[in-house]
Amino acid sequence: MTEAKKTPLLDELEKGPWPSFVTEIKKAAANSPSAQDLLGQLELSYEDKRGHWKHGGLVGVMGYGGGVIGRYSDIPEQFPNVEMFHTIRLNQPSGWYYNTKALRQICDLWEKYGSGLTNLHGSTGDLVLLGTRTENLQPFFDEVSNLEEHPFDLGGSGSNLRTPSCCAGPARCEFALIDTTDLCHDLTNEFQDYLHRPMWPYKSKIKISGCPNDCVASIARSDFSIQGTWRDDIKIDQEAVRAYVAEGFDIQGLVIDKCPTKCMSWDGNELTIDNANCTRCMHCINKMCKALRPGDDRGATILIGGKAPILQGAMMGWVIIPFMKLEPPYTELKEFLEKAWEWWDENGKTRERIGELILRLGMRNFLRAVGLEPVPQMVNAPRANPFFFWWPEETVQD
């Protein structure tokens, strides 16, 4: 084992009231040489003010193009136990529901083949296992994918479909308007080839929220954001509304005045909602959940184009399909995804996400490719640019 080194700069990260990854790596370092060298290299990175990891190199397991991220130290002579420090992504169960046996199985295997360090969960959603050598990749995968109970598959990495993820859904949340866990599991199985074999210009992500509260931040973190919604009227229990007010609830200040479209009014006795102008933001339902409930005609809004700031800055997804009835086998959604990916694959530049491609070639080109009619909800920034440029043959000249 490499001799333990002092880490005064990393020690600073342990101060304060919050849990620290440094503390956890130090615990692992008691039994893991690679965790000990990891601390040493991180400390040196802080001293040098630059990272000492170099990415790259084709590493993986048989039959898969993704799921493993190659990582090497550029100073292996100083830290030989992290000379190779590859990351493995495991496909997480929908909603991140594990039982303790499944977790123990993974941790036992990772102590056997890797550093013992994990990251639950990465931003993509996968169960991330940090640090192993190339020769350990295949043996680990052979065992974890053939566990008698709870076998695991690899997640996505590279220019492919990243592992779809979803919120906890109807199993734990009263606001879930669609079965997010079933949809996520179904899409993962349906698009296995896209998940494991990089073939696109860049990565593509699907994240699913059960309601517009969007607890998994799908609108900011995924190319295809699927959010549960409803299209009929909000259900109002007027007696419950009056009970809120009688108990001192400031309905005017906390609900009426904060409605983004000002579609609500309170006359001192009844609450009125102009549902045609409601944007389903959920604020009023969140504040008065005993009196207001979503409607019964439920489905999902599909948004497109969300991404982190890599090439052209951060982008939020914008509405592409205002309402889609989502029921198994989700054929309409799958057909839309296939068409969108095909257009992106044929027209996208290397490392260009689908939202960036839509901005470059125009929304009307995308809508024609996927067979959607333009509707007002598709406008990305209505107060800045309310215009849609129609195809010349679709306009009528006076």
Please give the Cα distance from 154 to 127 (Å, whole number): 9
Reply yes or no: is the peptide bond before residue 55 cis, omega within 30 of 0.
no
Q: Which of 186, 165, 203 is nearest to 69 (CA)?
A: 203
Q: Which of 52-56, 190-194, 202-206 has the lowest mean pLDDT?
A: 52-56
Ordered alpha helix ranges (H), 119-260: 134-144, 180-190, 192-196, 218-221, 238-246, 251
Question: For all residues of the chain together, what is the average pLDDT?
Answer: 92
pLDDT over threshold 60, residue 223: yes
145-177 pLDDT per residue, tens? 999 989 999 999 889 999 999 999 999 999 999
pLDDT of residue 382: 67
**Max mean pLDDT range (29-33, 107-111, 308-312):** 107-111
pLDDT of residue 194: 94
Please give the Cα distance from 224 to 366 (Å, whole number): 14
The residues, ordered by sequence, that sit 6+ positions from 150 with a Cβ below 8 Å of its Cβ are: 99, 101, 102, 105
pLDDT over threshold 80, residue 389: no
pLDDT of residue 142: 97
pLDDT over threshold 90, residue 6: no
Please give the Cα distance from 273 to 263 (Å, whole number): 6
pLDDT of residue 383: 66
Selected residue with higher pLDDT from 366 and 121: 366
pLDDT over threshold 90, residue 3: no
**357 Cα distance to chain centroid:** 20
Mean pLDDT of 67-75: 94
pLDDT of residue 122: 78
pLDDT of residue 308: 84
Mean pLDDT of 259-273: 95
Mean pLDDT of 128-136: 95
pLDDT over threshold 50, residue 134: yes
pLDDT of residue 120: 85
Please give the Cα distance from 391 to 380 (Å, whole number): 19
Mean pLDDT of 130-135: 95
279-314 pLDDT per residue, tens? 999 999 999 999 999 999 999 999 999 998 776 788
Q: Which of 3-7, 242-246, 249-253, 263-267 has the lowest mean pLDDT?
A: 3-7
Please give the Cα distance from 383 to 227 (Å, whole number): 23
Mean pLDDT of 256-269: 95
Mean pLDDT of 87-114: 94
pLDDT over threshold 50, residue 1: no
Q: How confident is the model at residue 386 (pLDDT cuts 50, 70, 90)?
A: low
DSSP 8-state secondary structure symbol assigned to residue 256: I
Helix-strand-coil split of the chain, %, nearest 5 = 35, 15, 45
The percentage of residues in the chain with a pLDDT greater than 70, rounded to a whole number, is: 96
User: What's this model's pTM, rounded to 2 decimal places?
Assistant: 0.91
Q: How confident is the model at residue 390 (pLDDT cuts 50, 70, 90)?
A: confident
pLDDT over threshold 70, residue 271: yes
Q: What is the DSSP string of 368-389?
A: HHHT----GGG-SSTTT-----
Q: Which of 2-6, 87-91, 147-151, 267-271 has the lowest mean pLDDT?
A: 2-6
Mean pLDDT of 376-385: 76
Q: How confident is the model at residue 2 (pLDDT cuts 50, 70, 90)?
A: low
Please give the Cα distance from 181 to 170 (Å, whole number): 8
